Amino acid sequence: MQFAVRLAATLLALTAILPAVQAATVLRDFTLIDGTGRNPVPGSALIVDGGRIAWVGPATQLRIPAGADVVDLKGKFVTPGLIDNHVHVGLVRDVAQDIEFYSRESVEQQLRTYAAYGVTAVQVLGTDKDLIFEIRADQRKAQPETARVYTAGQGLVFKGSYGGVPGLNQPVANEAEARRAVDEQVAKGVDFIKLWVDDEFGDLPSRMPAEISKAIIEQAHKHRLRAIAHIFYLDNAKTLVAQGVDGFAHSVRDQPVDRALLDAMKKQGTAQMAATLSREASFTYKKLPFLDDPFFNRSITPAAYATLTSAERQQKLAAAKHFAQYPGVLETALNNTRREIAAGVTYGVGSDSGPTGRFTGYFLHWELQLMVQAGLTPLQVLTAATGNNAKLIGAKDLGTIEPRKLADLVVFDADPSADIRNTRTIHSVYIAGKSVPTIWSICAGRAPNECGGKNGE
């Protein structure tokens, strides 16, 4: 009798410390946009179990597991979680940028904001402190409730040239230093290598020399990592492709891309990772056109709004040295995106959000709109931001809605494959099958009732 009592007590104690088994979740009666490029499929359903998609198919063939939570999504549209393959995190508070702002709290807050916008994974291009590796490790040990993060650690900058963040990125002056710098990042466990080749409209004395970019790319490939380059100029793009670079983090923006570059990119397999059209577009405004849009301003504080709408800021931007050049830069980027897609170059989607004035989460939605403006269909853009991007960042478990993939999902009220602006109609967001807050539940720095709702409600 005493043994039975002790055994019961032991079992009860073990039950108390074991994690609860999460019931399966069933989503049903939605239109599926699966991230592969296939046409939308009405009348779909899926089962999530253990954070992964266990089954997906016609709702008429659905067999609901015992005890499952069932969510009726009639009239809704489900896509994989969106991926932004060019971001920076942790460096900005409101509109001010400072390396001292970078902390676990600031990074994770921005990753929550990305998730609220349906962006469930991001690739950070070369401006992370080493803290990012702890954050990434914690995410990969247990499923996160924020956007998943992939990182290049500290990207490589040529001494005296453009790129990086002062005090964070340590410039290199020669090939030997470049190779050592790659090795240092590899030792930290980076997902890829980033390099900058630019001179800020000629304001800086030099760009990264070809022998140094070649050393960086070779050293990255030695470690079986991809090398992704910030570019601006056509001649640098051609050199980098010849050296084996894996992707471009921006469009060529100084002149039209030519057939020689397009053919070389296709032959080499160089991807246009990101066109960053929203970045270029943002520079054309003294006052951003969406400041009073609730889909944007629910995620910014009143202090940030006050700065963005101030006459002082508008005057400062208008007086900037290169302000008059930016409309032409944007037009060139749009046209070059159009040419690359028509030529069959591999492409993804990235916004370059995160630095001051380029806003977490929202800018990816603007980027999607501008990609459509450049000539892609909404379905092509959605595929680029999901299935294509997952391949480009090396995320084998993400990007498409298929059995065994992680259940990172976005549910929309309206069809984003019919009108890309419908990505703003976020109904719900799931990460590993768990519902997380959306932008419509955020009201940064204010009481919840002080923010506008969908469609100005």
pLDDT of residue 73: 98
Helix (H, G, I), strand (E, B) or coil at 45: strand
Contact 153, 188 (CB under 8 A): yes
Task: List domains and CATH numbers for the chain.
Answer: 2-79+403-456 (2.30.40.10), 81-393 (3.20.20.140)
What's the rounded Cα separation, in Å, for the pair 350 and 309? 26
Cα angle at 174 between 169 and 175, to 5 degrees? 100
List, for residues 306-345, the tens digit of each pLDDT value: 999 999 999 999 999 999 999 999 999 999 999 999 999 9
- Say whether pLDDT at 74 is over 60: yes
List, for residues 443-456, the tens digit of each pLDDT value: 999 998 899 777 54
List, for residues 152-170, the tens digit of each pLDDT value: 999 999 999 999 999 999 9
Mean pLDDT, range 179-205, rounded to an integer: 98
Q: Of the candidates 382, 379, 355, which has an alpha carbon nearest to the alpha carbon of residue 367?
A: 382
Which residue shows structure tokens 């020399």?
A: 209
Which residue shows structure tokens 């992680």?
A: 406
Mean pLDDT, range 82-90, rounded to an integer: 98
List, for residues 367-424, the tens digit of each pLDDT value: 999 999 999 999 999 999 999 999 999 999 999 999 999 999 999 999 999 999 999 9
Q: Which residue has the higher pLDDT, 457 or 61?
A: 61
pLDDT of residue 21: 55
What's the rounded Cα separation, in Å, for the pair 312 and 321? 16
Mean pLDDT, range 63-70, rounded to an integer: 96
Q: Of the candidates 277, 232, 275, 278, which has an alpha carbon nearest to the alpha carbon of residue 255?
A: 232
Average pLDDT, the chain: 94
Mean pLDDT, range 425-434, rounded to an integer: 98
Pairing state of beta strands 409-412 and 426-431?
A: antiparallel
Concatenated DSSP letters of 46-86: EEEETTEEEEEEEGGG--PPTT-EEEE-TT-EEEEPEEEEE
pLDDT of residue 457: 52
Mean pLDDT, range 46-58, rounded to an integer: 97
pLDDT of residue 10: 43
List, for residues 233-246, the tens digit of each pLDDT value: 999 999 999 999 99
DSSP 40: P
pLDDT of residue 7: 41
pLDDT of residue 17: 42
List, for residues 120-159, the tens digit of each pLDDT value: 999 999 999 999 999 999 999 998 999 999 999 999 999 9
Mean pLDDT, range 220-236, rounded to an integer: 98
pLDDT of residue 453: 73
- Say whether pLDDT at 262 is over 70: yes
Q: Give pTM, 2 decimals.
A: 0.94
What's the rounded Cα separation, in Å, for the pair 150 and 124? 6
pLDDT of residue 76: 98
